[in-house]
Amino acid sequence: MPNAPIPFLDLKAQQRRIATDLRRRLDTVLEHCQFILGPEVRELEAELARFCGATYCVGVSSGTDALQIAMMAEDIGPGDAVFLPAFTYTATAEVPLLLGATPVFVDVDPRTFQIDPAHLVQRIEAVRAAGRLKPRAIIGVDLFGQPADWPALLDIARRNDLFLLDDLAQSFGGSLHGKMLGSQADATATSFFPSKPLGAYGDGGALFTESEERAELYRSLRTHGEGKTRYEVLRTGMNGRLDSIQAAVLLAKLAVFPEELSARERIARIYDQRLGNAVTTPKRVPDSTSAWAIYAILLSDEAARDRVQAALKADGVPTAIYYPRPLHRQPAYSAQHDGSGLPVSEDLAGRILALPIHPDLTDEDVGRICDAVLAAVS
Ligand SMILES: *Cc1c(COP(=O)(O)O)cnc(C)c1O
């Protein structure tokens, strides 16, 4: 069966690898029945903080809720401008809007797809000059597994007195300049959606920060703004808690996560080597490692992309398009945009194509995917 479809993501194969530890941890939760913020959540928070070198970790209900809690803690709302890349998942822009703030879209680097610091500076200056909104925050996104340029973003944030939030939803496990991602910004939000590099069996997320004050606020906000006791309400919060079953799953997966990161890296290198002369393969951010949530190639134009995608599908090779539309072109957000061009984001959306990259791909699978891509573009 040479054309049996290859899975884009294989959570069943992963489950077989961790089955014993996973069952044991789930059984423990079923025994103690502390289903929300139980002991597994505290254990996970400590393990995650250790893993990424952050001081505080607060487990929350999703990556989107992590972003929202971080923005709520800074009192970001109506009249505030929040700068973020146009080429990212919708949640990054949705959160400022939910809080009444205005997302200001920034273009990305054409080689690494990460937010472009030079364009960010231009956008901040333009907002100041227009005088309608108050620049308040930057959300830097670590796109596809690779890091954004955190030293540059931090410098821009400090010079402009802006809160800097790292949307690490796709890149937990990546590193920059020898340091794991998780403590590069004022706060970091990540996601454990099942398809992320470290994924739960439902929704989940986490916040990281070096500030004790922020960590305390995050704990309060995730539980309805509670104070010292559950029945003291200090502020308007939300139901943003992580549940113990998800934490148990994540603890079992964290044990094998370093091996999985190595496996993803190995596959990325094979793709680079075999496909690099035929298509545009992703350029590495200098002095970094990637969590390889997504391995995206660029084709010459949209027609070529559609043709290659169809040919791969016929060969049993699934692909995905992240993202077919930059956020400033989305019906829900276009009214928020000032109309300026974001040429790189617009160009990428028409030509990008993600290949399968997960730790349970066999060498044979990877070889088949490469053969199929080379055949499709020739
Ligand atoms: C997945 C993702 C989110 C949202 O995470 P959820 O856990 O699905 O809420 C936010 N930002 C980016 C960049 C993402 O990829």
The answer, yes or no, to whether any atom of ligand 1 lies below 6 A from the CB of 203, is yes
Torsion sign, CA atoms 226, 227, 230, 232: negative
CATH fold of 257-377, please? Answer: Aspartate Aminotransferase, domain 1 (3.90.1150)
Confidence of residue 4 (pLDDT cuts 50, 70, 90): confident
- List, in sequence order, every residue forming a beta bridge with 346; answer none if it has no partner: none
What value does the mean pLDDT take over residues 187-205? 98
Sheet (strand 205-209) strand order = 56-60, 205-209, 187-191, 163-167, 134-141, 80-85, 102-106
The answer, yes or no, to whether any atom of ligand 1 lies below 6 A from the CB of 95, is no
Q: How far is the C-alpha of 163 from the C-alpha of 157, rounded, in Å?
A: 7
Phi–psi pair at 149, nearest 5 degrees: -85, 80
For residue 2, what pLDDT is reported? 56
The answer, yes or no, to whether any atom of ligand 1 lies below 6 A from the CB of 191, is yes
Residue 62 alpha carbon, nearest atom of ligand 1 = 7
pLDDT at 74 over 70: yes
The separation between CA 274 and the C-alpha centre of its own chain, rounded to angstroms, equals: 27
Q: How far is the C-alpha of 25 from the C-alpha of 13, rounded, in Å?
A: 19
Confidence of residue 119 (pLDDT cuts 50, 70, 90): very high
pLDDT at 238 over 70: yes
pLDDT at 377 over 60: yes
DSSP at 147: P
Confidence of residue 3 (pLDDT cuts 50, 70, 90): confident
The protein residue whose alpha carbon is closest to atom 5 in ligand 1 is 63
pLDDT at 345 over 80: yes
The answer, yes or no, to whether any atom of ligand 1 lies below 6 A from the CB of 166, is no
Locate the domains of the chain by residue range.
12-254, 257-377
The answer, yes or no, to whether any atom of ligand 1 lies below 6 A from the CB of 113, is no
Confidence of residue 229 (pLDDT cuts 50, 70, 90): confident
Instruction: Using the mean position of ligand 1's atoms as its centre, give its distance from the Cα of residue 199 in Å.
Output: 11
Q: How far is the C-alpha of 249 from the C-alpha of 28, rounded, in Å?
A: 12
Average pLDDT, the chain: 97
Instruction: Please write the tens of the pLDDT for every residue from 156-189.
Output: 999 999 999 999 999 999 999 999 999 999 999 9
Q: How far is the C-alpha of 167 from the C-alpha of 137, rounded, in Å?
A: 12
Q: Residue 115 burial (CB < 10 Å; 0-12/13-18/19+)?
A: buried
What value does the mean pLDDT take over residues 194-212? 98
Q: How far is the C-alpha of 119 from the C-alpha of 135, rounded, in Å?
A: 15
* Number of neighbours of residue 94 by Cβ within 10 angstroms: 17
Structure tokens at 122: 């231009």
pLDDT at 304 over 70: yes
Q: Best of 82, 92, 188, 323 to mutate for ligand 1, by most ligand atoms within 8 A of CB? A: 92
Q: How far is the C-alpha of 39 from the C-alpha of 80, rounded, in Å?
A: 38
For residue 373, what pLDDT is reported? 98
Phi–psi pair at 312, nearest 5 degrees: -65, -45
For residue 158, what pLDDT is reported? 98
Structure tokens at 288: 């970094």
Q: Kindly state the percentage of the chain with pLDDT values over 90.
A: 98
Confidence of residue 258 (pLDDT cuts 50, 70, 90): very high
**What are the helix and strand counts (H, E) for the chain?**
11, 12
Helix (H, G, I), strand (E, B) or coil at 142: coil
Residue 305's nearest CA partner among 292, 326, 322 is: 322
Helix (H, G, I), strand (E, B) or coil at 320: strand
- Whether the model clears a pTM of 0.95, i.e. scores above it, the answer is yes
Phi–psi pair at 352, nearest 5 degrees: -85, 150
* Range 12-254 has CATH code 3.40.640.10: yes
pLDDT at 1 over 70: no
Sequence-distant (≥ 6) Cβ neighbours of residue 120 within 8 angstroms: 83, 106, 138, 153, 156
